[in-house]
Amino acid sequence: MELPVIIKGIIMGFSIAAPVGPIGVLCIRRTLSSGRISGLVSGLGAATADGMYGCVAAFGLTFISSFLVSQQFWLRLIGGAFLIYLGVKTLFSRPAEQAANASSTSIWGDYLSTFFLTITNPMTILSFAAVFAGMGLAATNGGYTSAGLLVLGVVIGSALWWLCLSGLVSLFRQKFTATGLIWVNRISGLIIVVFGLAAVGSLLQMTGKIG
């Protein structure tokens, strides 16, 4: 029996969000240093961007996807630079002794930073387009209702992953000493910087191929 469209979307969103990249490292680090809410909200920023890219792929908005791909040089440059900034900031930040109070300012900062990082990665739209095509989920086959349910499923699936990740990591937070949290910051900051350098380094390969 064929799965409902929304279930396919949930599976898709969960599986695309699950590989641990810079957003996953940020989510883990923020959960350990500032508490579960910070990690979850960080993940939800990425889930929102996933939903937007899923919407572009599901509704066949080729003019938007073409524009994003054509501007990938600047998007990668901005996203890579922002990753390096966040990585260096994390590397030298001091961990809080206890979970910080979830102020509206910090929550919005956590949300917007991961949203920005995800939305500046034009490869995300290509991932969704490839998965949609592989599963036979082109928007023209099921109409706007099916496409809408698919996008909703993608957002739910992505959010479920971040809920699971932040919840699991928060269980171990109390086991980390202040020294342990300092090393979490150093290691995660270094990893994020490496992701940023890799993003910027990919631009050299891109310009080399163009040249």
Local confidence pLDDT in tens for the 211 residues of the chain: 456 778 888 888 888 788 768 888 888 888 888 888 989 999 999 999 988 888 877 776 666 666 666 777 777 788 788 878 878 887 777 655 444 444 556 888 899 999 998 888 766 766 666 666 655 555 445 567 777 888 898 899 999 999 998 988 888 877 766 677 777 778 888 887 888 888 778 777 766 555 5
Helix (H/G/I), strand (E/B), else coil: 163 = helix
Domain range enclosing 205: 5-210
**Half-sphere CA count of 90, side-chain side, radius 13 A:** 30
- Gap between the Cα atoms of 184 and 177, Å rounded: 10
- Gap between the Cα atoms of 201 and 141, Å rounded: 39
Count of structural domains within the chain:
1
66 backbone φψ class: left, alpha, beta (φ>0; ψ -120 to 50): alpha
- Taking every pair of C-alpha atoms in the chain, what is the biggest distance, in angstroms? 55
**CB under 8 Å to 33, separation ≥6 — which residues?**
93, 95, 96, 181, 184, 185
Burial bucket for residue 9 (CB in 10 Å: 0-12, 13-18, 19+):
buried
What value, to the nearest 5°, has the Cα angle with vertex 145 and ends 53 and 122? 10
State the pTM of this model. 0.73
CB contact at 8 A, 58 and 132 = yes
